[in-house]
Copies of this chain bind each other. A is one copy, B any other.
Amino acid sequence: MKFNEFVENLSNYEAGKPIELVVREFGIRKQDVLKLASNENPFGTSEAVRDAIVQNAACAHLYPDDSMYELKGALASKFGVEPQNIIIGAGSDQIIEFALHAKLNSRRAILQAGVTFAMYGIYASHCEAKVYKTSAQEHDLAELLKIYNAHRDEISVIFLCVPNNPLGECLDAEAVYEFAGSVDEDTLLVIDAAYNEFAAFKDERKRLDPKLLIQNFKNVLYLGTFSKVYGLGGMRVGYGIAPRQIINALYKLRPPFNITTLSLAAAIAALKDEAFVQKSLQNNAAQMSRFEDFAREQSLEFIPSYANFITFKLSPPLDSSELCEQLLRRGIIIRNLKSYGLNAVRITIGTQGQNDRVFGTLGEILSGY
């Protein structure tokens, strides 16, 4: 059977390895596996969310309220926007997919930082579009603008990941607003704020305001997620905030019932539990310092991170694939960044006890080099 030509050339996203795989392949007991590979919340989900899931378990047969009235209302009131400025996705990924499908085709292109979230490029390739990247790995707004100006007719979508996954660096909000002002009204500027809560907690200058963004720019799509600080990685709920005209177009590409009934209930409950969010942010900040101290002690190069992970850049003889494999055999899953073209690893910031285990095990491995 023949398929559209572009399908043959697509590459798949390389996800963090699941706990189940380590159990199956290395025979390690499930409770002994520590997964710090996918930036999930180390405190799990809040008790309020667990209660909501348990209470709604008997409704699993019912399709969700596809208007998502309550969730959109709660997000609208949190951000001071209208429900009509919001779209919900199965993770913010899905909103990226809608946006690219709406804007791109084989004659168009996206622009992004040299090393950033892989799904931007993957979804662009589903639309047969070209991907422009800066030579700088981290976000370099001057270089982004230079490339944009050189290919203004071709570039339809620009991505800023604030803070950047998988590197951890973070643009100031003011710099983002200024950049938005330099972009044509017909170029969609996607601001991926999946980890922005962590950045804003560390430094108020990093806090993005979606209301201000959509009031001032007709071409901005702000993306948030419940997968990280809200602890709902497994429930697949993200949101997009944008001017109505953009939301209306994305809605036309949204399949009905794109999140589950329990995901909807979980997200509504998660939004209400601000104490859990604060606890998660505080733990992350405190434990991030310990990771930085550990890196300095071990002479590991790290990128100061504004997210809930830290990226170590390795130098020979240290090799990221080998290091990940050695940790895996000891039941610790971290993220190899080789698929991003880097000899580097990304580790999710865990709880104090989880991190103690990482420092102990990793320190032992490193002492062998």
Contact = CB atoms under 8 A, between A and B. Distances in A.
Determine the main DSSP class of A at the interface with B.
loop
Contact of A1 (B10, B19, B58, B246): B246
Interface residues of A, number: 79
B186 A257 contact: no
Nearest to A127: B4
B60 A97 contact: no
Interface string A243-257: 001100101110111
A262 B18 CA distance: 15
Contacts of A57: 45, 49-50, 53-54, 57
A130 interface: no
Contact of A12 (B24, B185, B252, B258): B252
Interface string A59-72: 11111111101100
B262 A260 contact: yes
A90 interface: yes
Nearest to A185: B1
Contacts of A93: 255-256
Interface string A217-261: 011000000010001111110000000011001011101111111
A66 B255 contact: no
Contact of A7 (B2, B13, B253, B256): B253
21 contacts: A1-B249, A4-B102, A7-B102, A12-B256, A13-B255, A15-B63, A15-B66, A18-B64, A19-B65, A20-B67, A21-B65, A35-B62, A43-B61, A49-B60, A50-B58, A53-B57, A61-B231, A63-B234, A93-B255, A94-B255, A126-B253
Interface of A: 1-4, 7, 10, 12-13, 15-16, 18-21, 24, 35, 38, 40-41, 43-45, 49-50, 53-54, 57-67, 69-70, 90-91, 93-94, 97, 101-105, 119, 126, 185-186, 188, 218-219, 227, 231-236, 245-246, 249, 251-253, 255-263, 266
